[in-house]
Amino acid sequence: MRSVTGIHHITAISGDAQENLDFYVGVLGMRLVKKSINQDAPDTYHLFFADAEGNPGTDITFFPWPNMPAGRTGPGVWGEVQLGIPEGTMEFWQQRLTQHGVAAGESGLRFGEPTLPFSDPHGMQLALVEAPLYEGFGFTPWDNSPVDADKQIRALAGARLPERDSTATRRFLESALGLEQLGEEAGWTRYGIGGGEAGRRIDIRDEPGTPGGGWGVGSVHHVAWRAMDESHQSELRERIVGAGASPTQVIDRFWFKSIYVREPGGALFEVATDGPGFAVDEDPEHLGETLVLPPFFEAQRAQIEALLPPLGPPRKAAL
């Protein structure tokens, strides 16, 4: 039975929507490829930042809930999200973050790759990683980015997950998703597929006695894995059930179809189809410029628009 093929997207919780947009477009240079709503809470935006086309594996998305308390990293909640950048661009990114007043942590090597940890304005833990992409990975540079094409963020390189006891989670990663152990370093164990290139791996670590994590502003909501199509997704759902977990039924998100499941430690996973993609309802040249609702929400557009705060273009200019 086939494994997942890589990371599809990562969804997190942010504070103010405009501040979120300003940072991910104006500072990190990603494209807003879809401005929509949280389909489970339609009074809240769902903002999707990615490469020029919104290719699977490039897409970090946010639910802006500014009135929520701050999230708490710990077992049961995903931690740091890693963003893949081209080799040789770390100095550029260090300078850019400094110019924009972003305090970065100490750079160094992780699993042999140059890595720079930092946080976004709402406390979400991020890291830039100079990491190779896997064969067949799709990335399209965005011509209107404030970051030159040869330096743009290429991929969601990976994510980190603390566990109280990872024994059951390790079995789940292997039997349900088809991941395998790739290496160990500084207490972290890397799991992935293929050679573990950017977009095909996660890191887990046991942190016994650590208080559990909690969702809130600055925390990751879930990590989604790629299924090539609905048939592949159905296979993966069977595999997840066979591993003893209880996934949801397939949910139509319009741009992809999804199933959700919690791993044994409590963190939320999604398995999403690669298609049909973000251009199914917008001109590719104008992705993210207007509020797009899935067809099953169009009848509520007036009420939804009245509840959402104004959201303008990114306010931070390039340096």
Domain annotation covers residue 231? yes
The verdict on residue 11 lying in a domain is yes
pLDDT confidence bin for 1, thresholds 50/70/90: confident
Domain assignment present for residue 1? The answer is no
pLDDT confidence of residue 150 = 98
Evaluate whether residue 91 is within a structural domain.
yes
Q: Is 137 contained in some domain?
A: yes
Considering its fold, how many domains does the chain have in total?
1
Task: Give the separation between CA 305 and CA 282, rounded to whole angstroms.
Answer: 19
What residues make up the domain containing 211? 7-307
Q: What is the CATH number of the domain that holds 277?
A: 3.10.180.10
Q: Is residue 317 part of a domain?
A: no
313 pLDDT more than 50: yes
Instruction: Report yes or no on 28 lying in a domain.
Output: yes
Average pLDDT, the chain: 96
Full-model pTM: 0.97
Q: What percent of the chain has pLDDT over 90?
A: 97
The whole-number average pLDDT for the span 96-119 is 97
Q: Is residue 26 part of a domain?
A: yes
- Per-residue pLDDT, 50: 98
